[in-house]
Amino acid sequence: MGLGVCCHWLESVTKPNGSVSLVNTIKETPLQLGKHSRGLYTPTQVLSTYKANVKSLASVIPKLKAAGIDNFRMSSSMLPLLDKYHTLASSDEEFMKALHGLGAKFMAAGIRVTTHPGQFTVLSSDNPTVVENSIQELSMQAWVFDSMGFPQTPFHAINVHGGKANRAAQLVQATKSLPQNARSRLTFENDECCYSVSALLSVFEKTGVPVVFDSHHHTFNHEGMPAQVAYELSLYTWRRAGFKALQHVSNSVPGVTESASFQDRRKHSDFIANIPDCQLDGLNTGAIDLDVEAKMKNLAVVRLKGLLRA
């Protein structure tokens, strides 16, 4: 069953005082732009951080395999400030060997790896600097996937939102300006406000970038389109691309009603209680891989797998 975990792996840890808490066992050490600007990081510190982050991420692979989870969304911040230290990283033989080894381990385990750059990656922005920075960010993510040995296809997706509303032409233009290794992995996800599945379908026809159907987002921005139709349109884009579809599922926090604020309704729940029938059918027939966007991460995926088998 193609369920996916997003970025973290939670485990219970007992503290010295006897209390128990959940922690993310994937240790991702950040680097701060301010410290970089002040020259406070040495090349040795940066490479040490990168190598430690890669090693920590590798530790999740046997856990995914043991849990029967075949999809993992890798944090786009695994190599922080990579645009500043790309030359340093790419010229270090030991680091490059570790990065390639990480990809080889994921592929040997049969795990589909994707990533989801953050909110500042906006290809459709009216600000040329934002677009330039977005292209650079996507190029860096593509370089990471190249270095991990992943093929240049949307199977290993670099997934982003459409961005600024009513800018489909700008989105298409910026997409076409991406380097091939980024463009060939790019996917667009429908969001709650600006780009519905319908809007992204028109972008797909001009770019060939498949649509990641997020069923929770669709409830906010459906333009009168039933979920089943949106689901099938997303599958159509993936069939055209020639790869198994990637989709997302999440739920609102239990007890939140339709009269609640937009912000409250869009918040993700700890676990998944409801999957739209179309996505459930897609899982059962092997038509889709489904990233579970729930606060309890792998715990939510494992619980959901148990419920679906029952």
Nearest one of 271, 255, 269, 268 to 303, comparing CA atoms? 271
Separation between Cα atoms, residue 133 and residue 121, nearest integer Å? 7
51: amino acid identity, one letter: K
Burial class (CB in 10 A: 0-12, 13-18, 19+), 306: exposed
pLDDT at residue 310, as a whole number: 60
In a domain, 16, yes or no: no
In a domain, 142, yes or no: yes
Separation between Cα atoms, residue 94 and residue 91, nearest integer Å? 9
Please give the biggest Cα pair distance in the chain: 59
Domain hosting residue 253, numbered range: 3-11+21-309
| pLDDT, mean of each 10-residue run, the chain (310 residues) | 94 88 95 97 98 98 97 96 97 98 98 94 97 97 98 98 96 97 98 96 97 96 95 98 97 84 85 96 96 97 87
pLDDT at residue 262, as a whole number: 77
Which residues lie closer than 8 Å to 193 by C-beta, 6 or more apart?
165, 220, 221
Neighbours of 236 (CB within 10 A): 15
pLDDT at residue 20, as a whole number: 87
- The sign of the CA dihedral 246, 146, 301, 256 is negative
- What CATH number did the domain enclosing 85 receive? 3.20.20.150
How many folded domains does the chain comprise? 1
In a domain, 79, yes or no: yes
